[in-house]
Amino acid sequence: MDKYKVVFATGSRADYGIVRNYLRCLDEDNRIDLSILVTGALLSSKFGHQVELIYRDGFKIAKEIDIELDSSSNKSVTHSMAVALDKFGAFFYDNQPDLLIILGDRYEMLSVATAAAMNRITILHIHGGELTYGNYDEFIRHSITKMSMFHFTATEEYRQRVIQLGENPERVFNLGALGAENCLHIDETMVPQEIRQLIGKKYFVVLFHPETLTNVSVESQIDEVLKAIDKYKNYKFVFLGVNADTYSDFIRLKVKDYVSSNKNCSYFENLPTDGYHYLVKHSIALLGNSSSGLIEAPSLETYTINIGDRQAGRARGNSVIDVNCNEVAINNAMDRVVLRNRAERIFNPYYQMDSVRNYYDNTVIILKTIRNNSYKYKRFYDLY
């Protein structure tokens, strides 16, 4: 029997880091021909040309697809989306995998999903059903859900929301979040020496992205964050590179300028996944608005100061402190985590034991289902 042809599409270091162990399981199965489609920030020199991580891990890359990534405005973002739709449409016209795996909600993945759906390629969507009211990821995620045949969600609440969107319950699986389990298995040999040198010091990790669906200016938000940090000269702050959302370049320039003027601050554009988890695990708290603060930091028993509305609507554990994006609120939360009781038990709603194995096992079942059935179309599942 021919091997199952499986393709995973990725455009960011975060997406790739989340699924890396899951992809390893698929790649080691001699029944599966796994390859990776690489695009977006992974191919950009500005973001460190992180495609090298995938080559280093030994995965087969089906193709590198440059989409002229530019996040300086919504106009430039939609241009990148148009380029992605055209190039991925051509790829899927000529290449017909049995299954395309897409994670999450980035704008380039909406183009990938549209191109695949138009070419009648079966899509498995990971992390559907979640809410992020402050960002355009919100409607992108639900749109990808409607183009996908199978779904792996991170909580039961999210599974029910995917079903509410009209997806057949038999094809929606609550398997937990891969990131919530992956971060428990840190390969310390992959941790950069610069990160190791921070251990034993009191530091915060700062990872702040733009909100793209609110009317709050990016400039005012990052200014409030930096003013709050400025009050804590006795602590170190490790800033990480922002993602490729609209206006992210402004945040990057502001942060780099601040770091260059403050000796208690350092900046890393990119870190390997293990390095990032190691850094967060040993920090006082993760400060910002990254989804990893809700999904991964609780597994690392690290508190998160979640700023603003970017992650509004997402499930969160008891280690997440939500604050408005203003200097006073952020400082109050920082005071709280500095004095926190480290014996307090942290609950992570995204964690399920053996999620990597369960993702792999259910993917194999899906592949067998695809081979045994001919889908003419997907029926809308009505709740009533």
pLDDT computed for residue 344 by the predictor:
77
Topology match between the domains 4-176+352-372 and 188-338: yes
pLDDT computed for residue 341 by the predictor:
64
The pTM assigned to this predicted structure is: 0.94
pLDDT computed for residue 376 by the predictor:
64
**Assigned token pair, 208:** 């702040």
Domain boundaries defined on the chain: 4-176+352-372, 188-338
pLDDT in tens, 196-205: 998 888 999 9
Sheet with 203-207, edge to edge strand ranges: 265-268, 236-240, 203-207, 285-288, 303-307, 320-323
pLDDT computed for residue 253 by the predictor:
93
Q: Helix, strand or coil for residue 32? A: strand
Length of the chain: 384
pLDDT computed for residue 196 by the predictor:
92
What CA–CA distance (Å, rounded) separates 33 from 62? 11
pLDDT computed for residue 378 by the predictor:
87
Fold topology of 4-176+352-372: Rossmann fold (3.40.50)
pLDDT computed for residue 47 by the predictor:
79
**Assigned token pair, 337:** 């985590």
Which segments of the chain have a pLDDT < 50? none
How far CA 193 is from CA of 42, 131, 189, 323, 370, in Å, comes to 23, 37, 10, 33, 46
Domain 188-338 has CATH 1.10.3720.10: no
